[in-house]
Amino acid sequence: MLDLLTLTLNGERPSPRAGRNAFMHWQWLDDGILEITPLQATTRAVVISAGIHGNETAPVEILNALVSELLAGNLPLLPRLLVVYGNPTALRADKRYLRCDLNRLFGGRWQQYEDCMEARRAWRLEQAMETFWQAGNSDEVRWHLDLHTAIRGSWYTRFGVMPMRETPWPEDFLHWLAAAGLEALVFHRAPGGTFTHYSSRHFGAASCTLELGKALPFGNNDLSQFAATHQALRAILTGGSLPGAGEPPRRYRVSQQLTRQTDEFRLHMSRETLNFTAFPQGTLLAEDGEKRYYVQQAREYVMFPNPDVALGQRAGLMLVEDNAHNQALR
Among the residue ranges 150-154, 172-176, 204-208, the one predicted with the least confidence is 150-154
Question: Is residue 119 within 8 Å of 23, Cβ to Cβ?
Answer: no
What's residue 327's pLDDT? 55
What's residue 329's pLDDT? 56
What distance in Å separates the CA atoms of residue 101 and residue 312, rounded to the nearest whole number? 12
Report percent pLDDT > 70 for the chain: 97
User: Model pTM greater than 0.75?
Assistant: yes
What's residue 313's pLDDT? 87
**Closest by Cα among 287, 279, 289 to 318:** 279
The pLDDT mean for the chain works out to 93
What's residue 231's pLDDT? 95
Question: Is residue 279 within 8 Å of 295, Cβ to Cβ?
Answer: yes
Which pLDDT band, with edges at 50, 70 and 90, does 326 fall under?
low
Q: Is the pLDDT of residue 61 over 60?
A: yes
Adjacent-strand bridge partners of 294: 284
Give the C-alpha distances (Å, rounded to integers) separating 267 from 106, 183, 305, 317.
26, 27, 8, 12
What distance in Å separates the CA atoms of residue 53 and residue 139, rounded to the nearest whole number? 32
What's residue 325's pLDDT? 65
| Choice between 138 and 162, residue whose per-residue pLDDT is larger | 162
Q: Is residue 211 annotated as a catalytic residue, yes or no?
A: yes
Q: What is the mean pLDDT of residues 264-291?
A: 95
Question: Which tens digit of pLDDT belongs to each residue from 80-107?
Answer: 999 999 999 999 999 999 999 999 999 9
What distance in Å separates the CA atoms of residue 222 and residue 42, rounded to the nearest whole number? 34
Among the residue ranges 45-54, 245-254, 276-285, 317-326, the one predicted with the least confidence is 317-326
Cα 257 to the center of its chain, rounded Å: 19
- Give the residue extent of every domain in the chain: 4-238, 255-329
| The dihedral formed by the CA atoms of 126, 131, 132 and 138, expressed in degrees to the nearest 10 | 110
Question: Which tens digit of pLDDT belongs to each residue from 125-136?
Answer: 999 999 999 998
What distance in Å separates the CA atoms of residue 62 and residue 47, rounded to the nearest whole number? 15
The CATH number of the structural domain formed by 255-329 is 2.40.50.630
Q: Is the pLDDT of residue 156 over 70?
A: yes
| The dihedral formed by the CA atoms of 170, 176, 62 and 189, expressed in degrees to the nearest 10 | 40
Q: What is the mean pLDDT of residues 297-311?
A: 92
Burial (CB count within 10 angstroms: exposed 0-12, middle 13-18, buried 19+), residue 236: buried
Q: Is 185 left (phi over 0), alpha (psi -120 to 50) or beta?
A: beta
What distance in Å separates the CA atoms of residue 87 and residue 85, rounded to the nearest whole number? 6
Q: May I ask the CATH architecture of the domain 4-238?
A: 3-Layer(aba) Sandwich (3.40)
Question: Is residue 230 within 8 Å of 236, Cβ to Cβ?
Answer: no
Indicate the residue type of 278: A
What distance in Å separates the CA atoms of residue 172 and residue 167, rounded to the nearest whole number? 15
Among the residue ranges 90-94, 196-200, 320-324, the one predicted with the least confidence is 320-324
Q: Considering the candidates 35, 56, 211, 300, report the single residue annotated as catalytic.
A: 211
What distance in Å separates the CA atoms of residue 37 and residue 139, rounded to the nearest whole number? 17
Question: Is residue 269 within 8 Å of 302, Cβ to Cβ?
Answer: yes
276-286 burial, b at 16+ Cβ within 10 Å, e below that, comes to bbebeeeeebb
